[in-house]
Amino acid sequence: MSVDRVLPNIVTDRVSETRDFYVDLLGFTVNFAADWYVQISAPGDVRREIGIWRRDHELIPDEAGGPPGGVILTVVVDDVDAVHERAVGMGVPVLAPPRDLFYGQRSCLVRDPNGLVVDVSTPVGDDLPK
């Protein structure tokens, strides 16, 4: 068995606002858009994608309709400081400003419109995958 891709899906009442957060802050591209589902991906790589589902859609089971919890979505970028600056300018809640971490990442934490914690990181060590 092989895994071809992993696609996290965010369940939300704020489809447009969530789409705009990831597009405007992190440069994601919209690949598909409907009123109930939007699929976005990193520029130039459709396999690095996120789905955004409208919470009240018939395909969303009741068990999946609650607020996010126990999940941190990590997005690796080439310049976390520039993303932090853009986040501040957009009024995005910043939970932790950029800081160098012991394991070779420079990271900041922000909160998306749904309360999901997003770790925006840039590798700064030579021994980490980019």
Q: Render pLDDT for 23-56 as a digit per residue (tens, 0 to 9).
A: 999 999 999 999 999 999 998 888 899 999 999 9
CB 121 within 8 A of CB 107: yes
Report pLDDT digits (tens) over 76-95: 999 999 999 999 999 999 99
pLDDT higher for 44 or 13? Answer: 13
- Confidence label for 129 from pLDDT (cuts 50, 70 and 90): low
- Asked if residue 111 has pLDDT above 70, the reply is yes
Question: How many H-runs (helices) and E-runs (strands) does the chain carry?
Answer: 2, 8
- How are beta strands 37-42 and 29-33 bridged, if at all? antiparallel
Report pLDDT digits (tens) over 97-110: 999 999 999 999 99
CATH of 9-56+68-123 given 3.40.50.620, 3.40.50.11540, 3.10.180.10, 3.30.300.30: 3.10.180.10
Report pLDDT digits (tens) over 56-74: 999 998 888 777 788 999 9
Q: Which of 75, 82, 85 is nearest to 117 (CA)?
A: 75
Report pLDDT digits (tens) over 15-32: 999 999 999 999 999 999
Query: What's this model's pTM, rounded to 2 decimal places?
Result: 0.90
Domains in the chain: boundaries: 9-56+68-123
Which three-class secondary structure state does DSSP give residue 33?
strand
**Mean per-residue pLDDT of the chain:** 92
Output the pLDDT for position 67. 78
Residue carrying the six token digits 């986040």: 87
